[in-house]
Amino acid sequence: MLELRLVQGSLLKKVMESIKDLVNDANFDCSATGFSLQAMDSSHVALVSLLLRSEGFEHYRCDRNLSMGMNLGNMAKMLKCAGNDDIVTVKADDGGDCVTFMFESPNQDKIADFEMKLMDIDSEHLGIPEAEYEAIVRMPSAEFARICKDLSTIGDTVVISVTKEGVKFSTRGDIGTANIVLRQNTSVDKPEEATIIEMETPVSLTFALRYMNSFTKATPLASQVTVSLSSELPVVVEYKIAEMGYLRFYLAPKIEE
């Protein structure tokens, strides 16, 4: 028996909107630790890793580890039917073939349940080792989204370079080139507007903007995004989910053959 009650149901709505276009089907894994997912996009270039820790739920019951295969587009459709202030409860029986999403309005005057069929998914799981990254950039998530969107009107790839001067986002396309440099800025009044650059070694990596733009659909989840880079390693773009966990995107770089 699985029963997870999330008072801030909008978090789950935002998570689904962030990943449904990147990944079609995925297994949600439930354990005593929490509700998690690891899935790659169909071309196996990008990976989504989600963790919602059990402590973040108002009620978390998971009698035994359970893996539930879901079509993310269909799950997103169902969660779209929840109000932004609704409490969302996810329920499933051990060995059952469906999952129920229950939506309660804050004053309990409307209660809805949506049942969705589960599916068997043969997913490939990657072992991602803990890595020391050469450069970690923390910046406003809306700024990161703006940069990725702007650069994708010029070119298809972005070169992210971190030096002691700052972080540079560059692209080139048929019509010309673009460079955007952000300097460390910790002097702002609000911490969510800060840009913080931790650099061990200068690093420069190239990524497909199509994926970066897809990751920025998670912008409503967090005011800040963390971009972790190491030469010849996938970049990690992380959105923290308030006191519950994270949504991380991994993207393989483009490298010289």
Partner 1 sequence: SQKQFPLKAFYAMT
105 or 206, CB closer to partner 1? 206
| Rounded Cα distance, 244 and 55, in Å | 7
Residue 44 burial by Cβ neighbours in a 10 Å radius (0-12, 13-18, 19+): exposed
Q: Read off the tokens for 231.
A: 């030469």
43 or 108, CB closer to partner 1? 43
| Rounded Cα distance, 134 and 227, in Å | 11
Residues near partner 1 (CB under 8 A) are 40, 43-47, 124-129, 157, 206, 208, 232-234, 250, 252-257
95 or 127, CB closer to partner 1? 127
Do 237 and 170 touch, CB atoms closer than 8 A?
A: no
Q: Read off the tokens for 23.
A: 């990944």
204 or 223, CB closer to partner 1? 204
Question: Smallest distance from the beta carbon of 143 to partner 1, in angstroms?
Answer: 26
Question: Smallest distance from the beta carbon of 22 to partner 1, in angstroms?
Answer: 13
CA-nearest of 102, 25, 32, 31 to 69 is 25
177 or 186, CB closer to partner 1? 177
Q: Rg of the chain's alpha carbons, rounded to an integer? A: 19
Question: Smallest distance from the beta carbon of 207 to partner 1, in angstroms?
Answer: 9
| Rounded Cα distance, 101 and 113, in Å | 6
Question: Smallest distance from the beta carbon of 234 to partner 1, in angstroms?
Answer: 5
| Rounded Cα distance, 91 and 74, in Å | 16
Question: Smallest distance from the beta carbon of 133 to partner 1, in angstroms?
Answer: 13
Pairing between strand 135-140 and 157-163? Answer: unpaired
Question: How open is the CA angle 157-232-167, to the nearest 5 degrees?
Answer: 55
187 or 255, CB closer to partner 1? 255
98 or 126, CB closer to partner 1? 126
| Rounded Cα distance, 237 and 225, in Å | 7
Question: Smallest distance from the beta carbon of 25 to partner 1, in angstroms?
Answer: 17
Question: Smallest distance from the beta carbon of 124 to partner 1, in angstroms?
Answer: 6
